[in-house]
Structure 1
């Protein structure tokens, strides 16, 4: 062992130790290594910083933005709604659909993000059905990990292994090369969790969430009794008029709470402000009833109200209670005088004064300290109203606020953007990174994401971790570290044949993954696996595939993957729960991989 190799190994062991203890943060460790490696003289500064120009780093960043677009447009939440309706009270059906939904969505966006989205969905279903969250959270994490085995872009380790193949002069994996293995492991995982969930135990839940909901707020303020729907007909004098100019509403002391509008053959909904202009065919939700003469004069068609009319639009139009503070400038003024719509971009849908709900004429009631107002409008406007704490105190947001989808009207465009990206990646018309960037541009053009949400969605610590660990692969190759590990594997298992070596690669990757993130593990193990194949004179693809599969098979501990860490608290799991349930399935994944990989990717 040379001095340079010993120095690289010391840095690597130090990095692994810091990763294992979680001190300092992983991205900080990566920056420390970026500084340390050039200081040793083994790598130059450009070589150490080359990861910042790596196409896969840009691709991963773009995929974070694509995932944000799916969340902001409510695609993920709608999938959760469908899951709740379809599963009903069947625990078996619920687990199967939950795992399939998470795996399907995780195949095209961050599995960590998908699991984070589905945790409140699963908890809500558990509360409704009386199931224990312990029996849902671990299937959720297992499906998130298995989703990484379904497509090339499903998880960062896949992209790292693919990039290493290309660096070694090979063509890399196709978009669906890993899919057959992932489908088998996902199917086995679903069957395994249906059996293993009985060992998780847990008390059943006793009821729903404690947060207030749209339904309870509407009932408290009797909004449903006052609200009516009217469609604006052809030739109506209201067309082209802003809400601030509507004498009809001012005379009736009414407000438009929201508007349904058809755009491009799609029904959309928007919250209102004084500047909102009425268009032909708009459906107005108004907190007053108009007489037949008024409807005829203004060409308004009365439509039937449906139960839960606000619930259906909760991800686009917000609702919350605000309290009039003791020093509020609103004291002694009426809702009409305060001009909430113009000043704050929200409508007042109801008032509670002196402990009772005011039904008629609340817009002209003089407000007092301690009164509460029910406001509707955009979620951002509601939160901004709460920032004015001297005048208005925003009370606990309703449960629906946890699933805000500010661009829900753009959901078809988000889905279309993802389809375009997948088609471009599968056909290979453009490089994967360009396909992902095209999807990002399309989502921006169609307002599925804005620049603020796009930048916020990128998980910069993950990118720094990749950039900081990539130079280790080059340093180990240059100093002979990769050859040393390969020689050790060959000496220990070489006589048993390539199939046993494939198993050895899987085990080594899985063991390292117990202490290091699967991203860093893939960075370290991909060159070792490919070099092992070259020493044997066989195809590198089976060996690279074993690294990708093993990196996603992080089932054994709650710290093996962020996906596992996320479900620990909601599921009230202990460390031993993951060891007990995850270790047998990791062994199952090992056996399946060793049998299937040489069959589908011949040596």
Structure 2
């Protein structure tokens, strides 16, 4: 083991350690490696930066945009409604249809995005059917992972392995090369989870949620907003008149949070969403949320020059065409736990107001702006529907869990759903036919989405998960550095020395185990980047075809079933499903072994040695 290899391995161990600690963020770690590797003198600058022009990176970015187009046009949500209708009252039928639908959608768009879309659907259906949500959310996550085994573009590891084959001067995998194995694993997964669901919860619903599609009034009632809602008119002599909200500090001094302003304009009434810059005028009617229902404000009303008005029903229901509510969870990699609601600055950053907080499935009385957030907390936010939809696109920062039924009336691009399907069909057809490279097919799909106005440029840029792209770009140079310093050869020698006498199938099993174990600690994309060269070199050493070895790495990279931190898909359902770490181990480890057995049996049959 030479000095250069030791240096590269030290950087790799440091990289993995930082990934496990998640400090700093994985994209920052990737950038640190991009800076560090040229300084070692092992790689040239152009070799380290080559990932930015890698076709697989551009392809993944384009697929994020395609997936967001399907969300914005409401296609994914319509499929959820269809699922509710077809499942009826049968939990078994629901689980089967759910896994088939999620796997199908995940084969052409981000599995993380698909799972995020279906979490609120599953929570609503489970509540209506009085089924424990935990019996459905883990099958949802597993289906998202299995979707990565169905098509070439289903998950980044597939494209990473495909790109490694191309770099070696070989033909890559076809669009449906993964499908026979993936469909077999999907069928086994459905059967397995129909049996294993008894380990995940009881028949009784775990919470008191009401309907499959709750309304604004339902959300307001569950967070007890009606106790804190008020309508107040600004009198002509009010000291609030002609002043901006951020100058008044009503929330800090009086516990008054202004959500919106009703204003008479000529012959019609307008509803203005409250921001810090909103200037109050005499005659304006303020829709407010009190910090606590116990606050007595009659004296404050007189002091501020405000006149209480009657409120017969929730103003969220009255103004549902403009004003919305949504439940928002903090994703696993969020940096927000530990901050107070005041420090979030929701109004200034996202033009939304935090009006409720749910902790341990219980809504807190009132809203304590100095309350520090904890992992697993769920926020209720209020504001314009367009801002709530914009929050959905910030999947790396927030996960919108629940949208009420009224959202159907304000879908941002619902009329463009047929056009989005056409763009998707064109992309898939071009990829399957091979008329153009996959990245060109995906870019054509993006351009069609834009031309049909299924998505605009701002939304397209926000849809791209830049963190994932930087992770790939930062890890790609490690494969080249290990190859230059003899690290790949060392790994191959160890693998062949340990399992070579047992035959090529044993080597496939060994590659699967090593890839799956590495994937417990770092992302499956980074795992594929590291293991793909090892797989190809192992095949070369044996004088065998590289395709079965490359395929086994891709499949193992998607087999992240064993822990809640193995994949973002698992982490997303951890909180809503109220799972423990051991739940994933108990259900995921046997299924991973089953997937390995199927893969080792089928891969040589489809891709002979």
Same fold judged by TM-score > 0.5?
yes
Q: Does 1:68 align with 2:74?
A: no
Shift of 1:205: 3.6
The CA deviation string for residues 255-292 of structure 1, in whole angstroms up to 9 with x for no partner, is xxxxxxxxxxxxxxxxxxxxxxxxxxxxxxxxxxxxxx
Matching residue of 1:255: none
Q: CA deviation at 1:511?
A: 0.7
Distance, in Å, in 1 between the alignment partners of 2:157 and 2:267 is: 56
The answer for unaligned runs of 5 or more in structure 2 is: 222-227, 235-239, 243-259, 274-284, 288-306, 327-345, 354-380, 386-402
SS in 1 for 2:64: helix
- The verdict on how the C-alpha distance between 1:443 and 1:93 changes in structure 2, with shifts beyond 3 A counting, is same
**Does the aligned pair in 1 maintain the 2:323–2:382 contact within 8 Å?**
no
Distance change (3 Å), C-alpha of 1:485 and 1:402: farther
Counterpart for residue 481 of structure 1:
487
Name the counterpart of 2:391: none
**Deviations 1:1-44 (CA, angstroms, capped at 9, x unpaired):** 11000100000111111112222211111011111100100011
Q: 1:158 to 1:124 in 2, by over 3 A?
A: same
> Residue in 1 aligned with 2:372?
none
The separation in 2 between residues aligned to 1:340 and 1:151, in whole angstroms, is: 52
Q: Name the residue aligned to 2:404.
A: 399
> Equivalent residue for 2:319?
375
Tell me which residue corresponds to 2:86: 86
Distance 1:494 1:115, change over 3 A: same
Matches for 1:264-303 after TM superposition, within 5 Å: none
Residue 558 of structure 1 contacts residue 568 of structure 1 at CA under 8 Å; is this kept in 2? yes
Trace 1:161-560 onto structure 2 (pairs within 5 A).
Answer: 161-202=161-202, 203-205=204-206, 207-209=208-210, 213-214=214-215, 324-325=231-232, 327=234, 335=264, 337=266, 339-340=268-269, 369=309, 371=311, 372=315, 374-375=318-319, 377=321, 399-400=404-405, 405-560=411-566
The within-5 A match list for 1:546-585 is 546-585=552-591
Give the conservation status (yes or no) of the 8 Å contact 1:323–1:395: no
Instruction: Describe the shift of the 1:6–1:70 C-alpha distance in structure 2 as closer, same or farther (beyond 3 A).
Output: same
Mapped to 1, the partners of 2:561 and 2:325 lie a distance apart of 42
1:340 offset after TM fit, Å?
3.3
TM-score (norm 2): 0.73
SS in 1 for 2:430: helix
The count of aligned residue pairs is 483
Query: Could you say if the C-alpha distance between residues 394 and 107 of structure 1 is closer, same or farther in structure 2, counting changes exceeding 3 Å?
Result: closer
CA contact (8 A) 1:482 1:527 kept: yes
CA deviation digits over 1:276-312, x for unaligned, max 9? Answer: xxxxxxxxxxxxxxxxxxxxxxxxxxxxxxxxxxxxx
TM superposition score normalised by structure 1:
0.74
State how far apart, in whole Å, the 2-side matches of 1:3 and 1:395 are.
59
Instruction: For 1:332 and 1:97, locate their aligned partners in 2 and report how far apart those are by CA, in whole Å.
Output: 44
Quickly say closer, same or farther: Cα 1:471–1:334, change in 2 above 3 A. Answer: closer
Deviation at 1:324, TM superposition (A): 3.9
Hey, what's the Cα distance between the residues in 2 that align with 1:402 and 1:208?
18
Task: Show the counterpart of 2:98.
Answer: 98
Inter-CA distance 388–115: structure 2 relative to 1 (3 Å threshold): closer
Give the match for residue 131 of structure 1. Answer: 131
**Measured at CA, do residues 206 and 213 of structure 1 come closer, stay the same or move farther in structure 2, by a change above 3 Å?**
closer
What does residue 278 of structure 1 align with? none
Question: Residues 323 and 394 of structure 1 are in contact (CA less than 8 Å); yes or no, is this contact kept in structure 2?
Answer: no
RMSD over aligned Cα atoms: 3.4
CA radius of gyration, larger in? 1
For 1:333 and 1:524, locate their aligned partners in 2 and report how far apart those are by CA, in whole Å: 58
Q: Which aligned pairs between 1:46-57 and structure 2 lie closer than 5 A?
A: 46-57=46-57
Deviations 1:387-432 (A, max 9, x none): 599xxx9679872367763101100000110000000000111110
What is the rounded CA distance, in whole Å, between the counterparts of 2:160 and 2:105 in structure 1? Answer: 21
Q: Describe the superposition over 1:89-148 as per-residue Cα deviations: whole angstroms up to 9, x where unpaired.
A: 111001000101100000000000000000000000011000001101100000000000
1:420 to 1:536, Cα distance in 2 relative to 1, 3 A: same
Q: Distance in 1 between the 2:602 and 2:29 partners?
A: 37
The 8 Å contact of residues 263 and 272 in structure 2, kept in 1 or not, is answered as: no
**Alignment partners' CA distance in 1, 2:310 and 2:4:** 72
C-alpha distance 425-560 of structure 1, shift in aligned 2 (>3 A)? same
Partner Cα separation in structure 2 for residue 494 and residue 381 of structure 1 = 60
Asked if structure 1 preserves the Cα contact closer than 8 Å seen for 2:524 and 2:557, the reply is yes
CA contact (8 A) 1:568 1:574 kept: yes
**Distance in 2, Cα, partners of 1:97 & 1:135:** 14
- Contact 1:161–1:526 (CA<8 Å) still a contact in 2? yes
The answer for the alignment partner of 1:597 in structure 2 is: 603
Q: Distance in 1 between matches of 2:599 and 2:484?
A: 31
Q: Once the two structures are superposed, what CA deviation does each residue of 1:546-585 show, in whole Å capped at 9, x if it has no partner?
A: 0000000000000000000000001101111101100000
Superposed displacement of residue 381, structure 1: 14
Q: Are the aligned partners of 2:552 and 2:603 in contact in 1 as well (CA < 8 Å)?
A: yes
Separation in 1, partners of 2:116, 2:319: 29
Say whether the 8 Å CA contact 2:106–2:148 is kept in structure 1.
yes
Instruction: Give the 3-state SS of the residue equivalent to 1:340 in structure 2.
Output: strand
Q: What is the CA–CA distance in structure 2 between the aligned matches of 1:55 and 1:333, rounded to whole Å?
A: 52
State whether residues 325 and 382 of structure 2, in contact with CA within 8 Å, keep that contact through their aligned partners in structure 1: no
Change (3 A) 1:16 1:94: same
Q: Unaligned 5+ residue runs, structure 1?
A: 221-320, 345-350, 354-366
- 1:200-251: CA deviation from partner (whole Å, max 9, x where unpaired): 124524543499955859xx9xxxxxxxxxxxxxxxxxxxxxxxxxxxxxxx
